[in-house]
């Protein structure tokens, strides 16, 4: 599956390596939903591959996509 370039994977999950908690925008995510540290990104980010989850959380806004992601994993009550 091709990346949707929506940036949800850089906001919704936690990225421990970067000290980024669940639901918080990664400091490397730009306004276009792209990584500004792409060439130096940590292994966890390099290993990520878009999959069906991307389609399950697809929505018009980042807020809606993150909310859907959090609901899917039962994290919406944090």
| String of DSSP letters for 36-77 | TTGGG--HHHHT----HHHHHS--SSHHHHHHHHHHHTT-TT
Element (H, E) at 18: none
Average the pLDDT over 14-39 and give the result.
93
pLDDT > 90? residue 78: no
Q: What is the pLDDT of residue 37?
A: 94
pLDDT, tens digit, 9 for 90 and up, residues 48-77: 999 999 999 999 999 999 999 999 999 987
pTM over cut 0.75: yes
Secondary structure letter of residue 23 according to DSSP? T
Percentage, residues of the chain above pLDDT 70: 99
Length of the chain: 78
Q: What is the pLDDT of residue 40?
A: 94
């Amino acid at each position: 599956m091709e990346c949707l370039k929506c940036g949800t994977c850089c906001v919704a999950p936690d990225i421990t390596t970067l000290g980024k908690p669940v639901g918080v925008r990664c400091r490397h995510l730009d306004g276009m939903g792209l990584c500004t540290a792409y060439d130096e990104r940590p292994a966890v980010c390099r290993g990520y591959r878009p999959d069906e989850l991307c389609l399950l959380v697809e929505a018009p806004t980042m807020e809606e996509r993150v909310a859907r992601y959090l609901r899917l994993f039962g994290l919406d009550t944090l």
